[in-house]
Structure 1
């Protein structure tokens, strides 16, 4: 129990009265009486506060939250007593979260209920526990305050931000392709999966002509093929320390997971199987699966992945993936590498290329690109620009080397 500012101010009034009593003795008795009454009032107010019943509280929040997004939370308070309760409300949401609109002052009349609404943002993925709700009760006369903790535990799962995937799913096929920057093109004569029959066009190879259909119709009919649909896509996801780097206050790990989910949705719509393997801080294997609910399936396996402080071992990850993934697949390595990783990354690509197609999506920090765009104004800035140019040149040399080994490299920021 803590004394309020009001109590301290009232108590301070007795100090000049006590000094006056030394100078004018007749007021001493009256001062003693006033002090006694004041103490009785203070004690009575404290007892009434101590006997104030705790209100009941329930928390309403979604069981699944997207990381780095604001989500509404409602605290429902019920006062079943015959007393008026005035309090300040805090919700103990713990580490890895941020809140807005807290604390709030709440007045609960006798036998009534009221709601407290605020916004919550989770800054890390995984399981979080929202524990007790703290209430700072105010005494009826405002002389004391008492902290009461009300048990109200909620389990929440924080997942990657799948907003882009949801919005993408609502678009039409042509809009989807345009938004992704893709252009679907029929490559006549290529692919091995039969698509349809059509009239012969100049330039069609003889082996593509369907002679039976041509004899029935009386004109040349060609078979049209398309790229195989039942392919396998495997993401090799780096969860090492460099994936902790942030752009615009968002970790590379979070942005990478968002991109992985969006690409998985696109691949699933094309009839391909999608899976991933994490290496570095976490070692998780999710075999490729082919079904419409692939995004939810991947979410269930990757929402708890977080980049740690360990160095990622590309060679060990490649050896493990070769053992786990027997069928030929497109392997996309999602990482943030440095020149010192070149030897291990090249060895990993050589191992994977024996069976799979390999794409290396190598991320870099957006401030590096911004640094190269600015004109240096002094020696220090000139040195920073030269250092950045040297760093980017080393990356280009490493990517050229990986291209020579048969891998395709994407040099991009996490946001891209």
Structure 2
């Protein structure tokens, strides 16, 4: 029943109540009430059925975890007022689930899933007003579905769009000049004033009678191995996602950029034992393999066993590689095995340890205490950060490169380090 029908019903009830002292008025009010009820029912039955409408829900085939994924809800056919409700679970974190509008309707909202896996979305419930806007017809469209949720693939699309426009600086990525820093031939071109002398190609200059230079590019097909720790510490929240999810998102973008640069990428995931490996390969299909490999990964309740993981790695990957270890550290005692194994890795590989900072701990260590427990919390947070810094310094003194960043700056810093290593031909 619409608000218009409710107002008319209230008026009819007033007539019935006023007719308590006047039988003719009472009878007129009762007849009006019955007629109005019949008209409301008839109007509701005249409203379009859901089957007469075209209802479509459009979104990416795979949603990205932790980001707002756009959804378009389109309703075609019919006229009049309509109320719409999407049966979205709480885990979808939908921006809007109910609307009141007129047909035809084009509606937009977002879903921000907080975990990888599968997200079940229910039906679209419609309440359509009749032509007189007195009654409603309610029905549901059976468009329920299960949508896969994976790592933040939207970041890859953003990277590609900015790369095409030469605007990667907007996300903090510095595009370093790679010319003359590599080892593989790329092309011979006409020299420009800022070319270094060592790039001048004298044979081509003599042949063309113009000053020519040789461009070298970094060596391609080098292995870049992502080592993902999904032990207990990686299940700790860092903002809206776990540290593991932040690590997977950053690793996904690194894999994309490495494949785009012609390198081969692989993966090893571990907790108390090695759980998943992905053989290093090049080509666009490797991105799909990486997504398939990380999809089942969840934080384990066990501590990470660095000794067993890197003992396996040493026999699994013998060619010199850039080894990007996504993990977390508490203090020197907890990280002794990590430091020891990274020092061993250096004999053949180039290790890079990446850790995700928790912004809540950073904020707690910097806040001004207002009462006793605030001071205690600040002291605990400061102690955690100091122990963490000591561990990272120990790694750095051992010659192991590190990145310790929050989720906002993690991917840009990681990409900048990778591109810098490519420029220096560190591998």
Deviation of 1:351 (Å): 7.1
- 2:383 corresponds, among 376, 379, 390, to 390
Aligned twin of 2:42:
44
The residue aligned with 2:108 is 118
**Does the C-alpha gap of structure 1 residues 49 and 415 become closer, same or farther in structure 2, counting only changes over 3 Å?**
closer
User: What is the aligned partner in structure 1 of residue 282 from structure 2?
Assistant: 290
Q: What CA distance in whole angstroms lies between the structure 2 residues aligned with 1:87 and 1:93? A: 19
Matched-pair contact (CA < 8 Å) for 1:54–1:148: no
Instruction: Report whether the alignment pairs 1:89 with 2:62.
Output: no
TM-score normalised by structure 2 residue count: 0.68
Shift of 1:310: 2.8
Q: CA deviation at 1:154?
A: 5.7
**Within 5 A, what are the aligned runs for 1:348-363?**
349=342, 356-363=349-356
Matches within 5 A, 1:10-409: 10-49=8-47, 54-79=52-77, 84-100=79-95, 102-108=97-103, 114-123=104-113, 124-128=115-119, 130-153=121-144, 156-158=147-149, 159-160=151-152, 161-167=155-161, 169-170=163-164, 179-180=173-174, 229-240=220-231, 242-247=233-238, 249=240, 251-268=242-259, 271-280=262-271, 283-291=275-283, 294-295=286-287, 297-302=289-294, 304=295, 307-308=298-299, 310-315=301-306, 316-322=308-314, 324-339=316-331, 341-343=334-336, 345-346=338-339, 349=342, 356-373=349-366, 379-402=372-395, 407-409=400-402
Contact 2:156 2:256 in 1 (8 A): no
Do the aligned residues in 2 keep the contact of 1:162 with 1:258 (CA within 8 Å)?
Answer: no
Please tell me whether Structure 1 or Structure 2 has the larger radius of gyration of its CA atoms. 1
Contact in 2 for aligned 1:72/1:117 (Cα 8 Å): no
Q: Secondary structure at the match of 1:170?
A: helix
SS at match of 2:408: coil
Aligned length: 373
- How far 1:85 sits from its partner (Å)? 4.8
Q: CA deviation at 1:148?
A: 1.0
Quick one: structure 1 residues 366 and 173, their matched pair in 2 at CA, closer, same or farther if it must change by over 3 Å?
closer
Shift of 1:252: 3.5
Task: Please give the alpha-carbon distance, in whole angstroms, between the structure 1 residues aligned to 2:69 and 2:218.
Answer: 42
What 5-or-longer segments of structure 1 have no aligned partner?
109-113, 197-212, 214-224
Query: Residues 71, 184 of structure 1: CA spacing in aligned structure 2 closer, same or farther, 3 A cutoff?
Result: same
Q: Distance in 2 between matches of 1:226 and 1:86?
A: 62
Rounded Cα–Cα distance in structure 1 between residues aligned with 2:92 and 2:392: 38
Runs of 5+ in structure 2 lacking a partner? 187-202, 204-215, 410-427
Q: TM-score, normalised by structure 1?
A: 0.70
Cα RMSD, aligned residues only: 4.4
